[in-house]
């Protein structure tokens, strides 16, 4: 009977570059930066790594196909390196691969590294490309952009819960303002300016009803983790961070092609959450999850994710947002590092960047004291890739 990987694998080292429009750094530079910080933090040498998982999404933008670019860049000595890609959950998928490699008993020490170099397209937003359906994308689908596809969820959320555009946009503005506040304190974040609710509401429209500040940045970055077995972990450091659960869920087509989905939530988010809570033994996520880094590619995504992950009751996230529940000093801080909103979303790196924040917070090592949360017990990361009607969601839970 399968029992999951709870408490079988521990993270013993992590690295994360500064995120941003890094015009003077290529994907290879970013890989070296996150990797060096990571192995120094773990106190190991490169030769100790027995296998590696490499996450990158838009390979045509930066490193090319396969995993050879990482092996070559880091000069990994003929070890197995696997490239994974699963939309915005790519970074978390790299971590999942490394954790399963260790949990299976195949390896003692494994590396997960994610990278993305987005700022080499010459235009704003994510790179265009074949998207979700291969050639059928261009043949039958609208030219959906990321903001457009999530804007459709905002439109739907407002309609289902009877919010006027003004009320809805105000709720979302508070989500973005909160994250900018957190990001302003984080030296590794891309966007480090405080913004007001009024600024968010009055920003130019990108895809109605979402404005500029409802959208996360577009940045370059890399993050990495070294994992080992729970038995070996304490030999490397006194404060390893244990994997409590690592789950993903994918759309079945029901949301996009069947007519039952309400369009105001992400079904995979709910399903992945349920799987993760079961694996981690979490009964009441609203009470038990101390902090979370969720996939706030857009303000609406964070809002519905609070409901999908059962932090807030369905349709009631507005009350929690207004009560400040998810603020840095609230009952359940979300995006303590500033989130995708301030870090941007170098796709292959994001999941590991989120984990970096959870890892540092659990260890009490957030860079500045004003960012450090008090005694967090369980941290959750959440990635959502694709569009609300057709996507993948990953949920990871970690603790000391």
Partner 1 sequence: MAGIKSFGAYIPRYRINHNTIFSAVGFLGTFPPPGENAVANHDEDTLSMAVAAGSDCLDGLKREEVNGLYLATTSQPYMLRQNSALVAAALDLENNIRTADFLGSNKSGTSALLSAFDAVKADTSNILVCASDCRVSKPGSSQEPLYGDGAAAILMGSDDIVASLEGSYSVSYDFPDRWRATSEKFEHSWEDRFIRDAGYTKMIPEAISGLLKKYNLAITDFTKIIFPDLYPREHAAIVKRLGADARQIQTSLLDKVGDTGSASPLMMLVSALEEAKPGDKILVASFGSGSDAMFFQVTEKIKNITGRRGVRKNLETKKELASYEKYLAFRNLAPVELGGRGEIAFRTPMSTLFRERETVLALCGSKCKKCGTPQYPRQRVCVNPDCGAVDQMEGYRFSDKRGVLFTYTGDNLAASIDPPAIYGLVDFDGGGRFWFDITDCDLDSVKVGMPVEMTFRRRYVDEGGGVYGYSWKAMPVRA
Can you give the binding site for partner 1, defined by CB under 8 A? Answer: 121-125, 128-129, 135-136, 138-145, 147-149, 151-153, 155-156, 159, 204-210, 252-254, 256-259, 263, 389
3-state DSSP call for residue 19?
Answer: coil
E strand residue ranges, the chain: 9-16, 51-55, 81-84, 109-116, 205-207, 210-211, 221-229, 241-250, 291-293, 378-387, 390-399
Whose Cβ is closer to partner 1: residue 155's or residue 312's? 155
Cα dist. 143→128, 132, 156 in Å?
9, 11, 19
Contacts of 341 by beta carbon, 8 Å cutoff, 6+ apart? 176, 179, 180, 183, 191, 216, 217, 296, 299, 335
Q: Is the peptide bond before 209 cis (omega within 30 degrees of 0)?
A: yes
Whose Cβ is closer to partner 1: residue 140's or residue 368's? 140
Q: Least distance in Å: CB of 89 to partner 1?
A: 21
Whose Cβ is closer to partner 1: residue 61's or residue 245's? 61
Whose Cβ is closer to partner 1: residue 259's or residue 329's? 259
Neighbours of 6 (CB within 10 A): 19
Helical axes 299-308 vs 146-160, angle rounded to 10°: 50
Both tokens assigned to 358: 């959870």
Q: Least distance in Å: CB of 164 to partner 1?
A: 13
Q: Least distance in Å: CB of 233 to partner 1?
A: 41
Whose Cβ is closer to partner 1: residue 253's or residue 324's? 253
Q: Least distance in Å: CB of 183 to partner 1?
A: 22
Whose Cβ is closer to partner 1: residue 78's or residue 123's? 123
Q: How far apart are CA 232 and CA 52, in angstroms?
A: 18
φ/ψ (deg, to 5) at 162 = 65, 35
Q: Least distance in Å: CB of 317 to partner 1?
A: 18
Exposed / middle / buried, residue 361 (Cβ in 10 Å: 0-12, 13-18, 19+): buried
Q: Least distance in Å: CB of 203 to partner 1?
A: 12
Q: Least distance in Å: CB of 153 to partner 1?
A: 7
Q: Is residue 335 within 8 Å of residue 185, measured between CB atoms?
A: no
Half-sphere exposure for 25 (CA within 13 Å, toward CB): 22
Active site residues: 88, 345
Whose Cβ is closer to partner 1: residue 185's or residue 210's? 210
Element (H, E) at 313: none
- Residue whose tokens read 């709910």: 270
């Amino acid at each position: 009977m399968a029992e999951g990987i709870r408490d079988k694998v521990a993270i013993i080292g992590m690295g994360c570059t500064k995120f941003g429009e890094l015009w003077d750094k290529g994907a290879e530079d970013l890989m070296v930066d996150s990797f060096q910080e990571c192995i120094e933090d773990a106190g190991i040498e490169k030769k100790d790594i027995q296998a590696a998982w490499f996450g990158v999404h838009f390979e045509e933008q930066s490193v090319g196909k396969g995993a050879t670019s990482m092996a070559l860049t880091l000069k990994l000595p003929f070890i197995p390196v696997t490239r994974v890609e699963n939309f915005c959950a790519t970074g978390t998928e790299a971590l999942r691969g490394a954790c399963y490699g260790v949990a299976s008993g195949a390896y003692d020490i494994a590396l997960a590294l994610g990278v993305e170099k987005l700022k080499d397209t010459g235009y704003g937003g994510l790179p265009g490309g074949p998207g979700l359906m291969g050639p059928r994308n261009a043949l039958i689908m609208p030219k959906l952009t990321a903001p457009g596809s999530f804007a459709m969820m905002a439109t739907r959320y407002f309609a289902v819960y009877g919010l006027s555009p003004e009320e809805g946009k105000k709720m979302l503005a508070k989500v973005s303002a909160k994250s900018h506040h957190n990001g302003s304190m984080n030296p590794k974040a891309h966007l480090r300016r405080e913004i007001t609710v009024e600024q968010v509401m009055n920003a130019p429209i990108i895809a109605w009803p979402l404005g500029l500040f409802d959208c996360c940045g577009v940045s370059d970055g890399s993050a990495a983790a070294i994992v080992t077995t729970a038995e070996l972990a304490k030999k490397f450091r006194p404060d390893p961070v244990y994997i409590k659960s690592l789950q993903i869920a994918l759309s079945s087509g029901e949301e996009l092609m069947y007519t039952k989905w309400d369009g105001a939530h992400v079904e995979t988010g709910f399903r992945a959450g349920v799987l993760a809570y079961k694996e981690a033994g979490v009964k009441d996520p609203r009470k038990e999850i101390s902090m979370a880094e969720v996939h706030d590619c857009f303000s609406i995504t964070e809002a519905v994710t609070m409901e999908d992950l059962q932090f807030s009751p369905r349709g009631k996230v507005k009350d929690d947002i207004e009560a400040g529940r998810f603020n840095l000093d609230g009952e359940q801080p979300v995006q303590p590092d500033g989130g995708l909103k301030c870090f941007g979303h170098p796709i292959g790196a994001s999941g590991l960047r989120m984990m970096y924040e959870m890892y540092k917070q659990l260890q009490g090592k957030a860079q500045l004291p004003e960012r450090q949360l008090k005694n967090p017990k369980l941290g959750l990361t959440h990635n959502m890739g694709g569009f609300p009607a057709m996507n993948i969601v990953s949920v990871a839970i970690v603790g000391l």
